[in-house]
Amino acid sequence: MNERTLVLVKPDGVQRLLVGRILQRYEDRGLKIVGLKLVLINRDLAERHYAIHSERPFFRGLVDFISSAPLVAAVLEGPNAVAVVRAVNGATRPAEAAPGTIRGDFALETAQNLVHASDSIDTAAQELALWFTPAELFDYDRDVDRWVLAPED
């Protein structure tokens, strides 16, 4: 099933010059970039994005961090994109992230875990609407898809 999911390369990823290497991993897997932008978000968007964590003790730090410097927001499309992106990212806590994942290769701290990804199809739909307008998302064909994707029935 073709899905779309939101990925954020958080401020630590931008500051550590890892944007290209991180996006490369999703492209290497075959996922299609259908939306992409560099943004410095305000606290309002940060609080809405992380609303589910609003009662957690780390909420304020999370909002401070995500709104402190530019980040890269991307929408990735492909079969099972939500689960595939989470697997590419690795476990939220870098100490538990497998080698070969983004967090398992590049991160040490949960608060500086480089990437965010939608955790379900429903969350992905909400997050896409929060971060991207319809005009910022693109439907287009890639020649390589005949080698990456199974033929449609």
Q: Are the C-beta atoms of residues 4 and 128 closer than 8 Å to each other?
A: yes
Set 116, 117, 128, 132: catalytic member = 116
Residue 110 lies near ligand CMP (rule: CB under 6 A): yes
Minimal distance in Å, beta carbon 121 to ligand CMP? 16
Query: Which C-beta is closer to ligand CMP: that of 4 or that of 116?
Result: 116
List binders of ligand CMP among 77-96 (CB under 6 A).
92
Integer Cα distance of 95 and 151 in angstroms:
39
Residue 62 lies near ligand CMP (rule: CB under 6 A): yes
Minimal distance in Å, beta carbon 60 to ligand CMP? 10
Choice from 111, 129, 130, 144 touching ligand CMP (CB under 6 A): 111
The question of whether 53 is a catalytic residue gets the answer: no
Strands 32-39 and 71-79: antiparallel
Between vectors from CA 143 to CA 141 and to CA 144, what angle results, nearest 5°? Answer: 115
Nearest-Å Rg of the Cα atoms of the chain is: 15
Minimal distance in Å, beta carbon 33 to ligand CMP? 19
Q: Residue count at the site for ligand CMP (CB under 6 A)?
A: 8
Amino acid at position 114, single letter: L
Minimal distance in Å, beta carbon 25 to ligand CMP? 16
Integer Cα distance of 65 and 18 in angstroms:
17
Integer Cα distance of 122 and 110 in angstroms:
24
Integer Cα distance of 153 and 124 in angstroms:
26
Residue 120 lies near ligand CMP (rule: CB under 6 A): no
Residues that bind ligand CMP (CB under 6 A): 53, 58, 62, 92, 110-111, 113, 116
